[in-house]
Chain A
Amino acid sequence: MLARLSRAFVYRHPLQVLLALVGIAAGVAVVTGVALLRGALVESLDAVSAELVGARALVVRHPSGRLDVDEYARLARRAGAPDLVPVLRVPVRVGGQRLELVGVDPFSGIRALTGTDGAGLAAALYDTSGDAPPVVLSRSTLDLLDTEIGAVIEIDAPDTRLRVVAAIQGRPGLDRRLLMDISRAQAMLSERGWVSELLAPPEAEAWLRANLDDRLLLTTASSQRASARQLTAGMRANLTAMSLLALATGLFVVYSVLSFLMVQRRRTFGLLRALGMTHATLARMLLGEVVLIAVFGALAGLVAGSLLSDLLLRLIAAPVAEVYGQLPPATTRPSLWGYAAIWFAALAAAIAVTVPVLREALQIPPGRMVRSFVVQVLPLRKLLPLAAALVAAGMLWLVLDARLVAALGGLFLSLAGIMVMIPMIGFGLVRALAQRTPTTLPGRALRLLETARGRLSPALAALSLALALAIGMGMMILGFRAAVGDWVTRLLQADMYVSLESRELGPAQVERLAALDGVEVLSSVRRTRLADGTELTAYDLPARAWAGFELLEGDSGRARAMFDAGTGVLVSEPLARRRQLRAGDTIELLAPDGPARLPVVAVFRDYSSEQGFVAVSSALYRRWFGDPAVDSVGLYLAPGVPPDQIGRRLDGMQLGGHAQWFTPGGIRRESLAVFDRTFRISWALAFLVGMIALVALTSALLAQGLERSREHATLRALGLSPARLFGLLTVQAAGLTGAALVTALPLAVLIHYALSFLVQPRAFGWSLPAGLPPIEPVIWVVPVALVLGTLTGLYPAWRIGRRPIIEHLRAGR
């Protein structure tokens, strides 16, 4: 009988049930999408070595990323040498996608990889049936490139066409990779004489430690992957926070819709209770309905989330490659356990938000055929301590724990505390506004709206949170963008920068550049990685270039003197935060000749990497490594010499490789483009949260409209025209949105500052300069929210307006 009662109701109100399903599905979809994306960023980054030889494989690399083939040959000829696998890895682009060309020797000690057609890798890579060199891709990469076996693809190097001869199933670590024979790859990409790394089995560790040159780095495939995972930790934490906010907003929808479904059956519940239905039976019936809706809603969410995850992966693939130098898999890979965990969590959350609705239902006295009653609002004396406790707990967590999780958790708790107060503040504003114009239609509409605050409070809180999040995050992103723009502008003091594509510049080439007519002075940069993974950048800086460093700690004059003399180092802010270094501390650097302890003379602002780096003078670097090469040089031109003129001359110079030159303006533009691509996913998630909040608003207005349909019919009977009723309901929707916006603005500023000064430093290691928040997000979001919020009121208004008055009057009987 319970099932029949529920079924009859569902059949009569399909739209409302659909809305509930959408609410749950939307929240679960975002959580699932982000969870799968996180999985992709954890499981499959930098997994090429592991896929080729095994998770415990050893990896030998040169700090520069390029290892001389002669070095490999010398090692391989030594007595007892293990089976070493040379691998060439070169970033390429195919059809706008960032991929990596991986050259391997299929007859070396790599794991047996089999194509989907069952043929071995060696047979595929030595296929000579076509003109273009053969290449093997993973199945997902084939789908990503929308190509097929037998097709010819072009990479961005000149005259480089490759023929797809086979696809490998699974192996996500090989996604976005083009596998080809190493010798062909070296010839095709002018990399003869170079490999990127040597792979060896784990049992070769002792031999390698005894025989490796000091300049070579020995690591394992698993630690390589751990480093890659660490790289994206901040990004993953931020994504998780966003997805949880989306779920919270989705649960507001669930609450709104469930209370909407409740409202419609108050009389039935009163009747059933009068006829002898116990509290327990009524609770069972309602819980059964909630579980049923949640089960199907969550299932739909899992499906939608899986689709969403691939879209999100597409958004994030480019920034992960550009910012972290990592290639994520081509597609996310769902796990049954992951799905089950999200599904059960969604069920539990849906049941949890049902509790207040259930309590309301169970309070209906038997036989009392109430049509509606005013939902009680907790008084200030109860709300204030709750809000204060939540905010205090959040702040305490923030202060006592320096980890990122504390920043996010503390922010969540504080936001929850503020959210408790939002309805009271929002409806207080509505009341104040209504009192200013009590006899006008807007005044009446707002007065009636304010009296429904019990029902509408969750929707107001959800909308306010979503808007605050969108605006606050927008402020943080734009503030950060401006900071990055200023930082790049300040950093790039030279008139132009020159490097060779995939090559370093030797001393002779640097001298030729310095001798160019119109070039006054040069700066240079050389990057390397120490044995413990510390990034080291060596600078040769003329006086003008020093202005590019924004020192956060340390005395500029002293720092420069000690830096130039090689008796002190500079540390970028992210590294200083990670290692808790201050100016005046000492840092130990694993130089080739042994550990060197040097004072940190200054900490400088840097947004180029999350891991951070140590800056040393070129002289000190050369003393340590004996390496005279540089990665790029900055040219400081004589007054009046245009960079174009030097650029034209560079194009004609034979520097031993393709010379690339950039102006500071071009680098700034490209940096900001990378920045924009990095934050596209944040905008997308904020948009999704906003959309879910609008569903919450619609369902809340529908609930209110339905609850008051008889009231509206009475007003119509007493003389309110359909147009004025429409106006009344529209003003209410706009009023609710307006209240949400007004309460969202201070919250947005709070979120902006919390993200900028608490979350960002802990997630990425960098801070933002203090200043007023950008106003643009307010200008963008406020009109859009007002229009969309008002539009959400139109449907309930239309729904109420289209039914004849007498039907509404009868409906309540």
Chain B
Amino acid sequence: MADDRQPVLRLRGVGRTYHDGNEDVRVLDGVDLDVHSGERLAITGQSGSGKSTLLHLAAGMDLPDSGTVELLGRHVNRLAEPERTRFRARHIGLVFQDYNLVESLSAAENIELVGWLTGTPVTADDIRQLARELGIADLLERRPDQLSGGQQQRVAIARALIHRPSLVLADEPTGSLDQASAEQVMQVLSESIRAHGCTLVLATHSDTAAARCDRRVRIAAGKLEAG
């Protein structure tokens, strides 16, 4: 049954081709996708299938060759770069496979950084509260190189959620973790998303991770198909 609600994220006819030497590689080809508020969507597919590309396009970090990307009703790919950056900062939270924490800053400073970038007031209490939810309250003063992979990813999740974005895009968030850590991280991510009322788009090749989501789609040969 079709959902009449306005989706948080809407992709229509999105195509993206990369040039690899003399060869053009069509990574996405006419992709249509709607993601609704509060939904947790898993995008699965083989390595190189275009999962990360789809997330980059959704975040406005990359632009499609064709089609449109609509976020909260705005055409992201029609925005100028500075506006697109501001829009992304305000409405999207990002979680990367390799955590991408700023190595020289403490965990607390990494989380607080987003408040500065988005212009959202972030207090020390906000950080402590979120850190407690994610089980990293005792680790806030540590630098990334003093944290395990799982702990770093929790800090990254806190950073993605601290400014209460509408949409969290997580690109293989458990890809660099052992199974036990991966399960813990997925549980934390999934519960936090629900608790904060966010929408999640998760790119993963892990069935376990995908199983924690409400819906699942698969990318193959540049097209989306039901998971």
A residues adjacent to B (C-beta < 8 A): 371-374, 439, 444, 447-448, 451-452, 710-711, 713-723, 804-806, 809, 812-813
- B 128-158 to A, binary, CB cutoff 8 A, 1 in contact else 0: 0000000000000001010000000000000
Q: Would A710 and B100 count as touching, CB distance under 8 A?
A: yes
- Which residues on A sit within 8 Å (CB–CB) of B159? 718
A809/B100 contact (C-beta < 8 A), A717-B94, A718-B113, A719-B86 known = yes
The minimal Cβ–Cβ distance linking A801 to chain B, given in whole angstroms, is 11
In the complex, A813 Cα to B85 Cα: how many Å? 23
Q: Which of A718, A719, A721, A813 contacts B98 (CB 8 A)?
A: A813
A715 to B81 Cα, complex, angstroms: 15
CB-based contact A718/B104 at 8 Å? no
CB distance from B99 to the nearest CB of A (A): 9
- Is B61 touching A717 in the complex (CB atoms < 8 A)? yes
- Bound complex: CA A710 to CA B98 (Å): 11
Complex-state Cα separation, A716 to B100, whole angstroms: 12
Question: B98 to chain A: closest CB distance in Å?
Answer: 7
- When A374-B145, A722-B82, A809-B96 are in contact, do A717 and B104 touch as well, CB less than 8 Å? no
Q: Which of A447, A713, A719, A806 is in CB contact (< 8 Å) with B85? A: A719
CB-defined A-B contacts under 8 Å, sample of 16: A373-B103, A447-B105, A448-B104, A451-B104, A452-B104, A710-B100, A716-B61, A717-B59, A717-B94, A718-B159, A719-B88, A719-B90, A719-B118, A721-B82, A722-B85, A723-B82
Query: Is B9 part of the binding interface, using a Cβ–Cβ cutoff of 8 Å?
Result: no
| Shortest beta-carbon distance from B89 to chain A in Å | 2
Determine the chain B residues whose CB is within 8 A of the CB of A717 once the complex forms.
59, 61, 88, 94, 100
B102 close to chain A: CB less than 8 A:
yes
A373 to B85, CA, bound (A): 28
B56 contacts chain A at the CB level, 8 A cutoff: yes
Q: Which residue of A lies closest to B97 (CB)?
A: A813
The 6 closest A-B pairs by CB, nearest first: A719-B89, A451-B104, A719-B117, A714-B100, A721-B85, A721-B82
Residues of B within 8 A of A (CB): 56, 59, 61-62, 81-82, 85-86, 88-90, 94, 96, 98, 100-105, 109, 113-114, 116-118, 143, 145, 159
Q: Which residue of B lies closest to A711 (CB)?
A: B102
Chain A nearest CB, measured from B69 CB (Å): 15
Tell whether, in the assembled complex, residue A451 and residue B105 are in contact, meaning their CB atoms are under 8 Å apart.
yes
- Within the assembled complex, what's the spacing in Å between the Cα atoms of A719 and B87? 8
- Which residues of chain B come closer than 8 Å to A722, judged between CB atoms? 81-82, 85
A374 and B118 CA atoms in complex are apart in Å by 27
Q: How far is the CA of A452 from the CA of B89 in the complex (A)?
A: 25
For B143, list chain A residues within 8 Å (CB): 374
| Residue in A closest to B88 when the chains form the complex, CB atoms | A719
- The answer to whether residues A374 and B103 also contact, given A717-B61, A722-B82 and a CB cut-off of 8 A, is yes
Contact A714 B102 (CB under 8 A): yes
Min Cβ gap B105→A in Å is 7
B103: which A residues are within 8 A, CB to CB? 371-374, 711
Q: A805 — nearest CB in chain B belongs to which residue?
A: B61
Considering the complex, give the chain A residue whose CB is closest to the CB of B122: A439
Partner pick for B94 among A439, A718, A804, A812, CB 8 A cutoff: A718
Other A-B pairs beyond A374-B145, A714-B102, A719-B88, 17, CB < 8 Å: A371-B103, A372-B103, A373-B145, A374-B143, A444-B116, A448-B104, A452-B104, A714-B101, A715-B113, A718-B94, A720-B117, A804-B61, A804-B62, A806-B56, A806-B62, A809-B100, A812-B98
CB-nearest residue of chain A to B89: A719
CB-nearest residue of chain B relative to A441?
Answer: B116
A448, A723, A804, A812: which contacts B102 (Cβ < 8 A)? A448
* Interface majority SS (helix, strand, loop, mixed), chain A: helix
Task: Please give, as numbers and ranges, the residues of chain B lying within 8 Å of A439 by CB-CB distance.
Answer: 116
Contact B104 A721 (CB under 8 A): no
Measured between beta carbons, the chain B residues less than 8 angstroms from A804 are 61-62
Kindly list chain B residues whose C-beta atoms are within 8 Å of the C-beta of A452: 104
CA distance A85 to B90 in the complex (A): 95
| Known interface pairs A374-B143, A711-B103; A719-B114 also in contact (CB < 8 Å) | yes
Q: How far is the CB of A136 from chain B (nearest CB, A)?
A: 69
Residue of B90, B96, B102 with most chain A CB atoms under a 10 A cut-off: B102
Q: How far is the CA of A813 from the CA of B109 in the complex (A)?
A: 24
Query: Which residue of chain A is the closest to B63 with respect to CB atoms?
Result: A804
B93 and chain A: residue at smallest CB distance: A718
Q: How far is the CB of A73 from chain B (nearest CB, A)?
A: 87
Per the bound structure, the CA–CA distance linking A812 and B96 in Å amounts to 12
B61 cross-chain contacts in A, Cβ below 8 A: 716-717, 804-806
Tell me, in angstroms, the Cα distance from A444 to B88 when the chains sit together. Answer: 20
CA distance A372 to B104 in the complex (A): 10
Closest to B159 in A: A718
- Give the chain A neighbours of B105 by CB distance below 8 A: 447-448, 451
Distance between Cα atoms of A806 and B117 in the complex (Å)? 19
Closest chain A residue to B115, Cβ basis:
A439
A-chain residues with CB within 8 Å of residue B116 when the two chains form the complex: 439, 444
Say whether, besides A374-B103, A451-B104, A721-B85, A715 and B145 are in contact (CB < 8 Å): no
- Docked CA distance A194–B98 (Å): 91
CA distance A809 to B88 in the complex (A): 16
Instruction: Across the interface, name the chain B residue whose C-beta is closest to A370.
Output: B145
A723 proximity list for chain B (CB < 8 A): 82
Q: Within the assembled complex, what's the spacing in Å between the Cα atoms of A812 and B86?
A: 25
**Bound CA span A127–B171, Å:** 92
Give the shortest distance, in Å, between A259 (CB) and chain B (any CB): 16
A446 to chain B, nearest CB (A): 12
Contacts of A448 in B (CB 8 A): 102, 104-105
Task: Collect the chain A residues with CB atoms within 8 Å of residue B113's CB.
Answer: 444, 715, 718
* Chain B, Cβ-Cβ closest to A716: B85
A584, B100: Cα distance in complex, Å: 78
- Contacting residue for B114 out of A374, A716, A718, A721, CB 8 A: A718
B residues less than 8 Å from A713 (CB atoms): 100
B107 to chain A, nearest CB (A): 14
Q: How far is the CB of B189 from chain A (nearest CB, A)?
A: 17
On chain A, the residues within 8 Å of B100 by CB distance are 710-711, 713-714, 717, 809
**Chain B contacts for A374, CB-based, 8 A:** 103-104, 143, 145
Identify A721's interface contact among B56, B86, B101, B102, CB under 8 A: B86
Chain A residue nearest to B55 (CB atoms) is A806
Closest to B82 in A: A721
Q: State A374–B105 Cα separation when bound (angstroms).
A: 10
Nearest-neighbour CB distance to chain A for B57, whole angstroms, equals: 10
Q: Residue of A at shortest CB range from B163?
A: A719
A14 to chain B, nearest CB (A): 20
Which A residues touch B59, using CB under 8 A? 717
For B81, the closest partner residue in chain A by CB is A722
Alpha-carbon distance A372/B103, docked complex (angstroms): 8
Residues in A with CB closer than 8 Å to B94 are: 717-718
Q: In whole angstroms, what is the CA distance A371 to B176 when docked?
A: 14
* A804 to B60 CA separation, bound complex (whole angstroms): 11
Residues of A within 8 A of B81 (CB): 721-722
Identity of the chain A residue whose Cβ is nearest the Cβ of B62 in the assembled complex = A806
A812 contact set on B, CB distance < 8 A: 98
Q: How far is the CA of A721 from the CA of B145 in the complex (A)?
A: 27
Neighbouring A residues of B117 by C-beta, 8 Å = 715, 718-720
Least Cβ distance of B80 to chain A in Å? 10
Report how far A444 CA is from B119 CA in the complex, Å. Answer: 13
Nearest CB of chain A from residue B63's CB, rounded to whole Å: 10
| CA–CA, A444 and B113, complex, Å | 9
Specify which chain B residues have a CB less than 8 angstroms from the CB of A721 in the assembled complex: 81-82, 85-86
Most buried by A among B85, B88, B113, B145: B85
CB distance from B81 to the nearest CB of A (A): 6
Chain B residues, Cβ within 8 Å of A805? 61
A371 to B145, CA, bound (A): 11
Across-interface contacts of A809 in B (CB, < 8 A): 96, 100
Report how far A713 CA is from B143 CA in the complex, Å: 19
In the bound complex, CA of A723 to CA of B80 (Å): 13
Q: Which residues of B contact A813 (CB under 8 A)?
A: 98
Complex Cα spacing A621 to B24, Å: 98
CA distance A719 to B85 in the complex (A): 5
B126 CB to nearest A CB, Å: 14
